[in-house]
Structure 1
Amino acid sequence: MKFTSVFATAVLAGTALAAPERGLAARVKARAANARGSRPLEMAEKPADATNKTNAEYSNNWSGAVLQNPPSPAATYTAVTGTFTVPEPTGTGFGSSSASAWVGIDGDTYSAAILQTGVDFTVTNGQASFDAWYEWYPEFSYDFNGIDISAGDVIVSIVESDSPSTGTATIENRSTGQKVSTRVSAPDSSSHLGGQNAEWIVEDFEQNGSLVNLVDFGTVVFTGAEAKTANHQTVGLSGATVIDLLQGNQVVTDVTIDSDSSVTVKYV
């Protein structure tokens, strides 16, 4: 879930200060009420008319690429990196619709915990806004302070664990030179990481117990996608599982693994 943190340790590179965004007060209020949150992967049955893809699965809330098993029992995942350009989400009329792009450890076959960080993109009454955040699920998510996010910005997202219960989340905006990072801890002993999954995801997240209206996010391309393991291996997307997102019984994303380090998530 999303919450505004006064405890985040933010490291700011550059001189620009975070500017107020349209609708920020409303989003902060929602987060403070514990109204928003991520969920682990929720599997869905493949629709009868879905296009056949290699290593493809379907979900009610995730789209993207997942490494569902570590290379070996001694090579659990300890870091995930991905770079993407913030999309220009589109929406018309009144109301709000959103999606979130992030990288993470666990949350698919291992659902007790997720260490994740990324960017939300929201359209409210025709106005777009963006938030950089981090989370150790099932704890609340927290907004980063000291970083501006706009459509077209190039974002590097990194999560790293140095133990099953501690880690670091980092967001770098290469377009502005700003970079923020914070230490994160598991909320309790039942939510330690297993290091079983590494993922690059666009998510339809939760608000007030239900999934938000999914915004038309266009296309999100994760490049430089790689995972590190406890025995210092670097693992790419070869053999990763493709996850497409369903709305009702309709497939609304088209995910393709373009190379060992790139995956495209397209809204259709």
Structure 2
Amino acid sequence: MSFMLLVASILLTMALNSSIFPLPITNAQPTRSLTARTHHVSTTENWAGVCIHPPQTERFTRVIGTFTLPHVPDPSFSTGKEASFWVGFDGHRSDHILQAGVDCAVDKSGNVKFTAWTEWSPEKATFYDATRLDMAAGDQIEVEVNVLEQGTEGSITLLNKSNGKALTQSMRLQGGAQPIQGEQAEWIVENHDLALPTSGFVKVPFLNFGTVAFSDCYASTDKGTKMDLSQPSIYRLRPKGINSKVTDVDIVSGRGISGFNVRHL
């Protein structure tokens, strides 16, 4: 080998072992955000967040996650607007969803109000008195949803990790609801509907909530498989009649991916 070829070979070897080449995702630090191109991304009229699917022949029976209640950027300009943050099962291909979460609303006086709720859709949601969790902006709310008895029963726990207050609710199949299949586990920010007596369902004006951080997001199956957010489907929200998305989602990477942020744009 000539001297020039030897030098070129040594330099190439040094470059391949140096930090100028990007590390694989598996070696990334937990604070790094992945681009949306890394995952399956879709745009919906009412959801922003993350969904995962269980392995074939398995179904989800437990989902858990924590979200931090946001500081609304400009409440005085957001009167009459709302956003809902929740954790639950199914809904990707069906209206039958077992879910629980917190609504964030700004009233006509510019006051921000947080309200906890549980729901077995399409049955009506149950809303809880504010004193049950005593929530405020910055509080961390953990939501755990379990499916029991082949999808005909469930249990839900909401815990305010910032003050220790919690509520637990047993759920049972009734009315127009159907058994929960456990085909998806979801962590969602929603532009939800409002039922009006004369005109049916309408979208509530969507709140600019700033950023909501989800963390410790996991789901378990009936065969004991525990899954994180390594292979998520991402939802970005674009309300009907709007030409561009109004939210984006940043997955937090690292070994054991369990968190993401939803940002209002």
TM-score by shorter chain over 0.5: yes
Taking only the aligned residue pairs, the percentage that are identical comes to 34
Whether 1:117 aligns to 2:100 is yes
1:183-262 equivalences in 2 (<5 Å): 183-188=170-175, 191-208=178-195, 209-247=201-239, 248-259=242-253, 260-262=257-259
Instruction: In structure 2, give the amino acid aligned to 1:262.
Output: G
Distance 1:86 1:77 in 2: 26
C-alpha displacement of 1:95: 4.1
Q: Counterparts in 2 of 1:55-204, with a 5 A limit? A: 55-67=40-52, 69-73=53-57, 75-89=58-72, 90-93=74-77, 95-109=79-93, 111-125=94-108, 126-145=110-129, 146-163=132-149, 164-188=151-175, 191-204=178-191
Distance 2:176 2:148 in 1: 16
The 3 A distance-change label for structure 1 pair 102 and 94 is closer
Runs of 4+ in 1 over 6 A off after TM superposition: none
* Matched residue type, 1:71: P
Deviation at 1:189, TM superposition (A): 7.2
CA drift of 1:112 comes to 4.1
- 1:170-211: CA deviation from partner (whole Å, max 9, x where unpaired): 100011110100101122475111110100000000013111
RMSD: 1.6
Give, as a single letter, the amino acid of the residue that structure 2 aligns with 1:108: H
* Gaps in structure 1 of 5+ consecutive residues: 1-50
Q: Report the structure number with the largest CA radius of gyration.
A: 2
Specify every segment of 5 or more residues in structure 2 that has no aligned partner in the other structure, as ranges.
Answer: 1-35, 196-200
Q: Distance in 2 between matches of 1:101 and 1:93?
A: 21
Structure 1's 96 and 239: CA in aligned 2 closer, same or farther, altered over 3 A? same
Q: Is the 8 A contact 1:102 1:201 kept in 2?
A: yes
Bigger helix share: 2
Work out the number of aligned pairs and report it.
215
Is the CA contact (8 Å cut-off) linking 1:119 and 1:130 kept in structure 2? Answer: yes
1:72 counterpart letter in structure 2: Q
Give the CA deviation at 1:85.
1.0
Provide the C-alpha distance between the structure 2 equivalents of 1:182 and 1:175, rounded to a whole number of angstroms: 20
| 1:92 partner SS | helix
Structure 1 residue 144: Cα displacement: 2.8
1:243–1:88 Cα change, 3 Å:
same
* CA–CA distance in structure 1, aligned partners of residues 258 and 78 of structure 2: 38
The secondary structure found in structure 1 opposite 2:209 is coil
- Aligned residue identity for 1:210: V
Residues 94, 86 of structure 1: alpha-carbon distance in 2 compared, 3 angstrom cutoff: closer
Q: Which residue identity lines up with residue 61 of structure 1 in the other structure?
A: N
Change beyond 3 A, Cα 1:250–1:232: same
Report SS of the residue matched to 2:106: strand
Q: Which amino acid aligns with 2:212?
A: V
